[in-house]
Amino acid sequence: MNSLLLSGGRVIDPASRFDSIADLLIQDGRIAALGPDADTRAPAEVARLDVKGLVVCPGLIDLHVHLREPGQAAKETIATGTAAAARGGFTTVVCMPNTSPPIDNSGTVALIHERAGRDAVVNVFATGAITKGIAGEELAQIGSLKKAGVVAITDDGHCVQNNELMRRALEYAHMFDLPILDHCQDYSLVSDGVAHEGYWSAMLGLRGWPAAGEELIVARNIQLAELTGGHVHCQHVSAAGSVRLIREAKGRGVPVSGEACPHHFVLTDAALAGSGKFWETDGKGVFGFHNGRAERPFWPAYDTNFKMNPTLRSASDRAAIIEGIVDGTLEILGSDHAPHCDYEKEVEFDYAPFGITGLETELALALMQLHHTGKLGLTDLIAKFTVAPARLLRLAGKGSLSVGADGDVTVFAPDREWVFTREQTASKSFNSPFYGWTLKGKPVATIVGGRVVWREK
């Protein structure tokens, strides 16, 4: 019988609003006891982990990860992507279907499950495509994707432009009890934009990606969710108007939800002008750097590791994202971990692919911008990485520490400062804008099914 006792930590389980110094016993891959009986019920041969001074919480879930397998193994594999997840304190990742070939049929879902069974160090759940080949023209076999085990459908990286097709997708998905995760982007408005349309895109001569290009599709999704009863989850929300629309719709009971990524609540488009401009302007308030306590990292203008889709937006958009996270409008946090090879990113800004890695920095960035600034309590912050995504995707046994739940646990040091470096990266790719940053809050141990899969040396 395998068993593990975590003793003396501050256990926070948002699902049951539990927050107390307590012992936690995991036995045979499941949570067996929490509190005084954890120690008494532990068998004599139990493995012990002293976690005094650390936070112990349900294993973190990242519902927005690109593992790049099959077909793009130069960027990432299931092995390296899940190793990065474990380092970042994540016990479960949900992978996006824009692989090569895309995950748009039950055979490819089975392939992901088989490879994850062999190579993954954390749990992997797959999403399926909304449309065949993610081409936005014809619906994928949503029923057979569901049968094969996908937890949601999405064309992430792309966006279904045809409203009638999106309506049918929602009707089918609703019938099969699957949420749709949507990358909200109106192609006619955004065209070939690469930077938030505003002051900095004009100054830098970069083609604009207007906030309205996201807001229009968020509004469309709300209307269709209302019409069909199907749930739409808006991915990586970046614009103030999107937050306002989702807030209003949720207030009326429309089945819609929203997610925020750390880069959108830490950085702004001023970062595209280089670190000097960023620290002089929108970077002034960033936690840890606002008082000159941490050394301010340098990067040049047009650094392609600050290019992602949707783009970094203005300081007022960033403020609205944070406000939406704090008031519960955006109830889920995710990384949009999108690895790319160095050679792909080392080109002119216009030609570089969109996306950055994020699994290894997202917990720290969330703690810094949301918790250490006094905006969000630890329970509310952890909920956005645990019970909220588990509920949206109906991940049975995940996201809580109740007795009988899966033995997935994250241990982290909320106040520990560290510098993120390439040497510490388990991902196959290095396209992060946060190298050299002093971060506050560090994963210490990642436990999946009662087994320690990563531990700080």
Is residue 318 a contact residue for Zn ion (CB under 5 A)?
Answer: no
Q: How many CB atoms lie within 10 A of CB 354?
A: 16
CA distance 163 to 102: 22
CA distance 417 to 86: 19
Are 54 and 409 in contact by the 8 Å Cβ rule? The answer is no
Task: Report the residue number, 156 or 331, with the smaller CB distance to Zn ion.
Answer: 156
The secondary structure of 216-268 as a DSSP string is HHHHHHHHHHHHH---EEE-S---HHHHHHHHHHHHTT-SEEEEE-HHHHH--
Q: Which of 303, 336, 406, 408 is catalytic?
A: 336
Query: Smallest distance from the beta carbon of 333 to Zn ion, in angstroms?
Result: 15
Minimum CB distance to Zn ion smaller for 23 or for 156: 156
- Rounded least distance, CB 330 to Zn ion, Å: 15
Rule CB under 5 A: is residue 183 a binding residue for Zn ion?
A: yes
Minimal CB distance residue for Zn ion: 183
Nearer to Zn ion, 237 or 286 (CB): 237
Count of beta carbons in the 10 Å neighbourhood of residue 179: 24
- φ, ψ of residue 412 to 5 degrees: the values are -145, 160
Instruction: With CB under 5 A as the rule, give the number of residues binding Zn ion.
Output: 2
Our CB check for Zn ion shows the closer of 263 and 371 to be 263
With 0-12 CB in 10 A as exposed, 13-18 as middle and 19+ as buried, what is 134?
buried
Interaction between residue 340 and Zn ion (CB under 5 A): no
Binding of Zn ion by 156 (CB under 5 A)? yes
Residue 118 beta carbon to Zn ion: minimum distance, rounded to whole angstroms: 27
Of the candidates 220, 218, 223, 201, the one whose C-alpha atom is nearest the C-alpha of residue 210 is 201
Residue 364, both tokens: 């720290």
Binding of Zn ion by 406 (CB under 5 A): no
For helices 240-251 and 315-326, angle between their N-to-C axes, nearest 10 degrees: 30
Smallest gap from Cβ 392 to Zn ion, in A, equals 16
- Report the residue number, 134 or 453, with the smaller CB distance to Zn ion: 134
Output 146 or 183, the one with its CB closest to Zn ion. Answer: 183
> How far is CA 411 from its chain centroid?
18
> Would you give the DSSP letter of residue 273?
G
CB 157 to Zn ion: min, Å = 5
Q: In this structure, how many other beta carbons lie within 10 angstroms of the beta carbon of residue 293?
A: 10
Nearer to Zn ion, 13 or 155 (CB): 155
- In this complex, which beta carbon is closest to Zn ion, that of residue 183 or of residue 345? 183
To the nearest whole angstrom, how small is the minimum distance from the Cβ of residue 141 to Zn ion? Answer: 22
Q: How far is the CB of 191 from Zn ion (least distance, A)?
A: 17
Residues forming a β-bridge with 418:
439
The verdict on whether 336 is a catalytic residue reads: yes
Q: In the window 36-65, what residues touch Zn ion (CB under 5 A)?
A: none
What is the spatial distance between Cα 169 and Cα 260, in angstroms, rounded to a whole number?
Answer: 24
Distance CA 17, CA 402 (A): 11
Nearest C-alpha neighbor of 60 from the set 107, 110, 13? 13
Smallest gap from Cβ 236 to Zn ion, in A, equals 6
Q: Which of 156, 114, 111, 164 is nearest to 139 (CA)?
A: 164
List residues near Zn ion by CB under 5 A: 156, 183
Query: Which residues are known to be catalytic?
Result: 336
